[in-house]
Amino acid sequence: MKYVIGLDIGTTGTKTILINEEGIVVARAVAEYPLLSPKPGWAEQDPQRWWDACVKTLHDVVASSGTNAQDIVGIGLTGQMHGSVFLDRNNDIVRPPILWCDQRTAKQCEFITDTIGASRLIELVCNPALTGFTAPKILWLRDNEPENYARVVKVLLPKDYIRFRLTGEFATEVSDASGTLLFDVKNRRWSNTVLSELDIPADFMPRCYESPEVTGTLKKEIAEQLGLKPGIPVVGGGGDQAAGAVGNGIVRQGVISATVGTSGVVFAFSDKVTLDPEGRVHTFCHAVPGAWHVMGVMLSAGGSLRWYRDTFADAEKSVAALAGRDPYEYITEQADTAPVGSEGLIFLPYLTGERTPHADPHARGVLFGLSLRHTKAHVARAILEGVAYGMRDSLEIIKGMGVPITEVRASGGGARSRLWRQIQADVNGVPMVTINVDEGPAYGAALLAAVGAGIFPSVQEACDATISVSNTLEPMKEATEIYGKYYAVYRALYPDLKEHFRKIAVIVD
């Protein structure tokens, strides 16, 4: 029996899984690390913590599975997108990487848009300039830390830094590169035009591959450290959303995923380049060679519920600890006692700004419509509903672009809540489907490794052989009608508050 590894370098931790050639997960391990915020709106991490987590989890999955290391034939990488790992000529870290959720680059985004032109930028790289992307981070370093910028010789994305540590190769792949704002998404190559006009050296960027392609092999000294055999192929892998889509079987037209993790993502497969002229959703290369995807991203989906848990749910956490249960179970059980629509309480989930459909780093969370009738149950349910409204924003844009929708698959931590899946089905008026695997991007990375290792001839055939639908929740007509009315109010709130968000940002600064 052959085995492959999927390695996911996430925002809160690294998850590593080992699957066999039938797609069955035989071992998994997780190691966490902190997110650093040295200033308001900043988000950074220590790459050594990523590496330490990878070493630990790789050791753990091999040891716990009892697998002969000689039978492991491929490694696939995935992870948080957009982060900027700056390396000097000695391959040392220049400064802590700036992460996807960092909001410091608003001025650089304005500069990019003014320099290249808003519509021309979308034509060149299929996306507008957003604070989360990599290009404005590079410019921020140039503008604010010129001594550090002068040391930079290579810019890597988080998973690609781990690739470098594993193989010694500077490489990336098309799905993750699409989120840099420096990539010609239509033609699947770096955009020399954008690099030149922003005066970013092309040599900063690593060689780019398709996701199932082999990008290098495991170095002998690293293999010995990890207890693996040297020379194991390491494939391109994918950004966390593209790899997660492969792990959900989103590899054909009409199938869409709704992923509720820290962020919320609506992801649609496309066999051609499909653009939103307003740039509200992203068009990236898919991890499926020759395919693309359209993606809407909200920044604080599961992150909103985590904020509620950490700020207001001490009692639920205490009870859960005594009962050996997840505190989220108690929170959602409580939310289930509140009625559809939370009796007029609406939550805007913009706790860390927003990307889709409002590219606004100044947007902030709002609880609208509070009254003396509202309890913690109403607030908890309003958060679940507010995230569902935010996901619907993306779904509506994608539908308007003519992308067909025949099925929505739920994934991420939020998919474990039946209530949250039902709320999404009711808000969207579309059935919500779950599948037989729930390992997220790590599973997609493992399938990509299986393709690269020759176990499967294509990504589609790998998904067909391993993934099947396990549960379907149909929308409830009465709830869908009620949510339609509340959603109209939800959509009207941001435009009314937009300038006030900016005024508050000035006062806080």
Residues with catalytic function: 240
First to last CA, the chain: 59
Can you tell me the distance from the alpha carbon of 282 to that of 356, in angstroms, rounded to the nearest whole number?
A: 9
Contacts of 40 (CB under 8 A, 6+ apart): 508
Can you tell me the distance from the alpha carbon of 105 to that of 212, in angstroms, rounded to the nearest whole number?
A: 32
Q: Which of 471, 6, 405, 81 is nearest to 261 (CA)?
A: 81
Contacts of 169 (CB under 8 A, 6+ apart): 163, 207, 215, 216
Handedness of CA 439, 444, 449, 454 (dihedral sign): positive
Cα–Cα distance list, 397 to 191, 205, 272, 401 (Å): 26, 32, 17, 6
Task: Give 116-158 as a DSSP string.
Answer: H-HHHHHHHHSS---TTSHHHHHHHHHHH-HHHHTT--EEE-H
Q: Largest alpha-carbon pair distance within the chain?
A: 66
Q: Which amino acid is at 272?
A: K
Can you tell me the distance from the alpha carbon of 171 to that of 337, in angstroms, rounded to the nearest whole number?
A: 50
Q: Where are the beta strands (DSSP E) in 206-362?
A: 207-209, 214-217, 233-235, 238-239, 254-260, 264-270, 282-285, 292-298, 346-348
Query: CB-side exposure of 437: number of CA atoms within 13 Å?
Result: 28
Q: Residue 161 in contact with residue 47, Cβ under 8 Å?
A: yes
Can you tell me the distance from the alpha carbon of 171 to that of 160, in angstroms, rounded to the nearest whole number?
A: 6
Contacts of 27 (CB under 8 A, 6+ apart): 17, 18, 60, 61, 62, 64, 65, 67
